[in-house]
Amino acid sequence: MAWLSITVELEPAHAEALSEALIEAGADSVALEPGAALTRLTALAARDADAARLVASAAASAGIASPEFRAARVEDEDWVRRSQAQFGPMRCGERLWIVPSWHTPPAPPALVVRLDPGLAFGTGSHPSTRLILNSLERRIRGGERVLDYGCGSGILAIAAGRLGAAELAALDIDPQALEVTRANARANGVELTTALPGELGPGRYDLVLANILAAPLVELAPELARRTRPGGCVLLSGILSSQAEEVSAAYRTNFACSIAALEGEWALVEGLRR
């Protein structure tokens, strides 16, 4: 099987924003290669994908101008394994580490999440993911109910489980992402429930996590409020700092919101449920 490869070179913040937006728009995988001034972004999509439409749609979602790109056909191969040199162990907080399977994990008391880059967003390398992981380590004390909305690889739900959360649910609109999440959970000895949005049974959660994009986060405000128990917390990422106020405003009806952390151009919005 052949794939469509799309290559773009952008400023680092724009490359990071576009990487997540491309996954949301339908790309199967994205890799970032930092350079001296620009970051090279390489995305894989189905061979019959419309590259111009995919890039334009992702750029609009990311709030940037549609960039110039190169598109080429590449033969089927293990794309991720070819790029293993880009991925190493990553420390997120005091104890939590994200470690690919081909690396030796750090010794205890490190809490290790085994995760290989693959066809779903979330390896720990993106600032939006790290912002939530750092917050999770501070917030989870043990026994919490956690919902990961837009789970991608499942990294956030799995990390919450490794940190001591008692009940985990992971939702995504992409059935392939749910398959990846289940496989990653098994690899880490974590039990969780996966479902498409609208198929999860009733219930409220102590922590609701959403690392997606600003526009869908605004639209999801009523649903995430419905899923968060009074006194519970919502952690929202995938947001550029310039978008944080817009997202916060959408949640203030039901949450006391604040911009809890920044990393580069990215922001974490936290909200306490009234």
Per-residue DSSP letters for 183-241?
HHHHHTT---EEE-TT-SPS--EEEEEEES-HHHHHHTHHHHHHHEEEEEEEEEEEEEG
Confidence at residue 195, expressed as pLDDT on a 0 to 100 scale: 97
Pairwise CA distance, residues 257 & 81, whole Å: 40
Confidence at residue 78, expressed as pLDDT on a 0 to 100 scale: 47
- Two tokens at 205? 């959660």
Return the higher-pLDDT residue of 222 and 174: 222
Lowest mean pLDDT among 110-124, 224-238, 255-269: 110-124
Q: Which residue has the tokens 């000895």?
A: 189
Look at phi and psi of residue 106 and say left if phi exceeds 0, alpha if psi is from -120 to 50, else beta: beta
Q: What is the mean pLDDT of the chain?
A: 89
Look at phi and psi of residue 122 and say left if phi exceeds 0, alpha if psi is from -120 to 50, else beta: left
Closest CA to 135 of 273, 261, 225, 272: 261
Share of the chain above pLDDT 90, in %: 60
Residues forming CATH 3.40.50.150 domain(s) in the chain: 119-273
Predicted confidence (pLDDT) per residue in 99-129, tens digit: 988 888 899 999 999 988 665 556 677 888 9
Confidence at residue 1, expressed as pLDDT on a 0 to 100 scale: 56
**pLDDT at 19 > cutoff 90:** no
**pLDDT at 266 > cutoff 80:** yes
**pLDDT at 52 > cutoff 90:** yes
**pLDDT at 90 > cutoff 90:** no
Q: What is the DSSP letter of 118?
A: B
Domain 2-82 sits in CATH 3.30.70.120: yes
Find the mean pLDDT for residues 30-52: 85
Other residues' Cβ atoms within 10 Å of the Cβ of residue 48:
7
Q: Which helix (H) or strand (E) holds 146?
A: strand 145-149
- Is this prediction's pTM over 0.85? no
Share of the chain above pLDDT 70, in %: 92
Q: Which helix (H) or strand (E) holds 160?
A: helix 155-163
Residue 46 φ then ψ, to 5°: -55, 145
Residues forming CATH 3.30.70.120 domain(s) in the chain: 2-82
Contact criterion met (CB below 8 Å) for 234 and 219: no
Confidence at residue 265, expressed as pLDDT on a 0 to 100 scale: 84
Predicted confidence (pLDDT) per residue in 141-170, tens digit: 999 999 999 998 999 999 999 999 999 999
Other residues' Cβ atoms within 10 Å of the Cβ of residue 63:
16
**pLDDT at 4 > cutoff 90:** no
Predicted confidence (pLDDT) per residue in 163-195, tens digit: 999 999 999 988 888 999 999 999 999 999 999
Span 119-273 CATH architecture: 3-Layer(aba) Sandwich (3.40)
Pairwise CA distance, residues 146 & 210, whole Å: 11
Other residues' Cβ atoms within 10 Å of the Cβ of residue 76:
9
Closest CA to 175 of 195, 148, 200: 195
Range picked from 8-12, 86-90, 210-214, 269-273 for highest mean pLDDT: 269-273
Range picked from 33-37, 120-124, 186-190, 213-217 for highest mean pLDDT: 186-190
Coil, strand or helix at 58: helix
Sheet containing 29-34: give its strands across.
Answer: 29-34, 39-46, 2-10, 70-75
